[in-house]
Amino acid sequence: MRNLVIDIGNTFSKLAVFEQKELIHFEQLEKVEENGLLNLINEYRIENSTVSSVSDQIENLETLLKKNTRYTRFGTAITGEVKSHYESPTTLGLDRWAKVIAAHCLYRGNNTLMIDAGTCITYDVLTATDEYFGGSISLGLNMRFKALNHYTGRLPLVNWDKAQTEIAEGTNTQNAIKRGVLQGAVNEIEGFIAIEQKRNKNLKVILTGGDSLFLTKQLKNSIFAAQITHEPYLVLKGLNEVITL
């Protein structure tokens, strides 16, 4: 059984093909094109599909998938065995819910904190008893850089290389901004981990999202390092699990 899963985010779209639970193809695009999608469906002989999107305007995409695959419409009503206590499920981001489903299926029996470092940084916890109480949404790294430039008169917009491994000392304005944003985010993440560790013993921490590899490297020497796993495809794996629920 081959499944096509699509995660349409604020910045990029991610497509993945799974054979059962094995990821056999991945690509990241600025926009999903119908012709390219059809070629992918035919090349991999896709049987099933589902989509998580930050936009509701996916009618054409859903029509194409319904015509060419067995399509599962993903939403927060798909719960598996998860008991959600979220007060407004219709406003819960589908990417966040896909991560909850992934934690339920892949890390069952663990208290799991999922940290997604993308356009925003989101924090969500699924308890060992499969209960979800919501989480937190914070500014992503690029959003922080842009905010400093936008809301001040003289601070420049700083570009940073996410492949870097060290945060420089703030000996000039550019580095001071980088240090404030990057170290500030690391400190924030450590703070959230500490809070959730007090609430949920034997906490497993999963980092995902476009900036997660950089942040994982920064956390390698923290007291929480042994608890942290870098999982770049967590949303996509969650969507794949949805097809089999």
φ, ψ of residue 79 to 5 degrees: the values are -120, -15
Output the CA–CA distances (angstroms, integers) from residue 125 to 195, 196, 235, in the order listed.
11, 8, 14
**Residues found in the chain:** 245
* Catalytic position from the list 7, 56, 95, 211: 95
Three-class DSSP category at 227: helix
Q: Is 124 a residue of the active site?
A: no
Residue among 211, 137, 206, 154 nearest 181 (CA): 211
Q: To 5 degrees, how large is the angle CA 168–CA 171–CA 172?
A: 105
Three-class DSSP category at 5: strand
Strands 48-53 and 2-8, bridge-based pairing: parallel
Active site residues: 95
